[in-house]
Structure 1
Amino acid sequence: MLANAPGFTGNTLDRADRVRHEPALLEAALADAEARLLVLDGLDPVLDEAGRLTWTNLSEASGELLFLGHEAGVPRFVSTFADDVSVPTGRSPAMFALLDRFAAPDAANYAAARSLVFWHGRHRFCANCGSPTRITHAGWGRHCPHCGAEHFPRVEPVVIMLAERGDQVLLGRQPSWPPGRYSALAGFLEVGEAIEEAVRRETFEEAGIRLGAVRYIASQPWPFPSSLMVACVGEALDADIRIDANELEDARWFTRDEVGMALARDPAAPFLGPPAYAIAHTLLTAWYEGN
């Protein structure tokens, strides 16, 4: 077991799958006087001083209600955007500051809600025939009345990896990151590709390093908008870095001691490590500790 769990994991909601398939159970949840609605500012969470999510009455919903699950027996919902409101794209500048304030379980619950709301906002029309769709399965699906197609939320798998060579690890940086930050390489899994194959391909494409054996470390839901980060470590077969300038600004080998300094936020560290909520931090910590 990893010493530090990835951010956005540890969901405390019972997703109560039966509610998605039995209309009477959904009606009971909607009629429950204790039922609560997640408060969002656009797609951003509204946190209290303790970093906890804010909940309100279902009557405050601006769109259709989506069932998130039960927590301590209390039904929890989130609302879609109204039909005439466009779904925000990307992350707002305020979101980055909020990520460091989250209470851990609430971050996981928010991740599910955000991804679900975003998905509904982007799938109002059928991908098969273009007709308007309607919400089904208590908010976990959409149905096209015209052609009968069923649509369900999907995640986009992303591999994120370290290449190791003895007591060194390969990290890269993108030009948009804060000065001095280095982190794990990453890229989307492509169709017809295994996780290990994607790890090897992305590492070679971005840094020119070929990998041998690949081992899985951990995964993380990443709700921007709905990725699943799959963290791995691969054995480097060579050390000659050749970066793709379209992907990276720089890539370097760092020693275990240097990684330890960065994780400890030592001012003398040769690089700034990834933030604690990112699975890259979990991955780097696991490598540093030899897990």
Structure 2
Amino acid sequence: MTGHASLPGPLSGFAFAGDTLDRADALRDDAEALARLWPSARVMILDEEGRALAQADGTLLAFEGASLGGGPGASLFLGRRDDVAWFAAHARHHAVQAPAWLDLRRAAATWPSFESGVFAMARALLHWQSSTRFCSVCGGDITFRRAGYTAHCTQCGKDHYPRVDPAVIVAVSDGERLLLGRQASWPPRRYSVVAGFVEPGETLEQTVVREVQEETQVRVRSCRYLGAQPWPFPGALMLGFCADAEPDVPQVDGELEDARWFTFEEIDAALAREGSDDGEGLLLSPSISIARALIEHWHAGMRARSACPPAETGR
């Protein structure tokens, strides 16, 4: 019996993948409709570092369009929720007071899922705008159209669109243990599942096999897709998999500082220590990430398997 035979259902519990906006694509070309929506709209304001304007207590501070005056202008239309439109704007376009600025990771851990999801969308799109200053074809100047979703070259006419970089992230098991690695820059004792970007001409399954092999020298036999998380740091889409692999001894070549197999008991103890770290033992990925969801998914499947051992067969 393999380690994934009794895994539970779809992944859940991580940030940026819950309640979201109706992106209302048709409105992006309707400047008059957006102008009508502006006075009652909610406007999220971000600074040059991608932090959102927040109240002194760390909760979201989103202005009504009417209080900012004018119209949408250079603001980016994000979508609608019920009858309320949501926009994102750079702080340089609005002279507003800033009780606090909050980064996206902290917001993901403390804000309601809807608000942190809107923040993630705003951050990714505004980062794309900031990094798309000239046409990559001819070097011409860029102007933004369709409420901020299309970068149009004023010289050659080429249109450029927001970029999303797909990456796989995978919980690899040999049937009894979970493969985790760590980067040198991480806090001491923290380990996580293997991840890497998709290369041109690859399927997602091929990326899983290649990345695990490159980073740990462990050979994947099969894999299965479980779920996805937008990861706007700055513009990745994390595609979560579980994989069955050979029980090879992990070996790292520099991209990871270390990689090793962890038993169910070690993962179980790490989950039990959550929030009360004693300075010893394994530390896992933060709860906002799909990496953590994949670890918990494997743990739940192993627990379910141990609770329902295969029936003995008789003659």
Q: State the TM-score bracket (shorter-chain normalisation).
A: 0.7 to 0.9
Deviations 1:75-134 (A, max 9, x none): 111114659xxxxxxxx9965544432322211111100000000011121111111111
Query: For 1:115 and 1:81, how far apart are their aligned partners in 2?
Result: 15
Q: Give the superposed CA RMSD.
A: 2.5
1:289 alignment partner, SS class? helix
Corresponding residue number in structure 2 for 1:136: 145
Q: How many residues align?
A: 280
The answer on 1:76 being equivalent to 2:86 is yes
Q: Contact 2:199–2:207 (CA<8 Å) still a contact in 1?
A: yes
Deviations 1:156-194 (A, max 9, x none): 011111210112010001111111101011111101111
Q: Contact 1:52–1:103 (CA<8 Å) still a contact in 2?
A: no
Aligned amino acid, residue 15 of structure 2: G
User: Structure 1 residues 141 and 210, CA, compared in 2 at 3 Å: closer, same or farther?
Assistant: same
Moved more, 217-226 or 140-149: 140-149
User: Structure 1 residues 46 and 24, CA, compared in 2 at 3 Å: closer, same or farther?
Assistant: closer
Query: For 2:289 and 2:15, how far apart are their aligned partners in 1?
Result: 6
Corresponding residue number in structure 1 for 2:243: 234
Specify which of 259, 281, 285 is matched with residue 292 of structure 2.
Answer: 281
Larger Rg: 2
Query: For 1:265 and 1:51, how far apart are their aligned partners in 2?
Result: 27
The answer on 1:44 being equivalent to 2:51 is yes
Corresponding residue number in structure 2 for 1:8: 16
Deviations 1:181-235 (A, max 9, x none): 0101111110111111111101010100010111111110001101000111111
Q: Contact 1:11–1:109 (CA<8 Å) still a contact in 2?
A: no
User: Structure 1 residues 175 and 203, CA, compared in 2 at 3 Å: closer, same or farther?
Assistant: same
The answer on 1:29 being equivalent to 2:37 is yes
Specify which of 234, 239, 242 is matched with residue 225 of structure 1.
Answer: 234
Task: Tell me: higher relative CO, structure 1 or 2? Use CA pairs within 8 A at least 6 residues apart.
Answer: 2
Aligned amino acid, residue 261 of structure 1: A
Query: For 2:47 and 2:244, how far apart are their aligned partners in 1?
Result: 44
Kindly, what percent of the aligned residue pairs are identical?
38
The answer on 1:205 being equivalent to 2:214 is yes
TM-score by length of 2: 0.81
The answer on 1:168 being equivalent to 2:174 is no
Query: For 1:264 and 1:51, how far apart are their aligned partners in 2?
Result: 28
Aligned amino acid, residue 24 of structure 1: E
Aligned amino acid, residue 151 of structure 1: H
Q: Which runs of 5+ in 1 are unaligned?
A: 84-91
Q: Contact 2:47–2:92 (CA<8 Å) still a contact in 1?
A: no
Query: For 2:194 and 2:239, how far apart are their aligned partners in 1?
Result: 12
Corresponding residue number in structure 2 for 1:88: none
Query: For 2:69 and 2:291, how far apart are their aligned partners in 1?
Result: 37
Q: Which runs of 5+ in 2 are unaligned?
A: 1-8, 94-100, 303-315
For residues 90-109 of structure 1, what are the structure 2 equivalents within 5 Å? 96-109=105-118
TM-score by length of 1: 0.88
Query: For 1:199 and 1:57, how far apart are their aligned partners in 2?
Result: 45
Q: Contact 2:178–2:262 (CA<8 Å) still a contact in 1?
A: yes
Query: For 1:67 and 1:163, how far apart are their aligned partners in 2?
Result: 40
Aligned amino acid, residue 125 of structure 1: F
Aligned amino acid, residue 108 of structure 1: G
User: Structure 1 residues 191 and 60, CA, compared in 2 at 3 Å: closer, same or farther?
Assistant: farther
1:63, CA displacement in angstroms?
7.6
1:41, CA displacement in angstroms?
3.6
Query: For 1:221 and 1:7, how far apart are their aligned partners in 2?
Result: 8
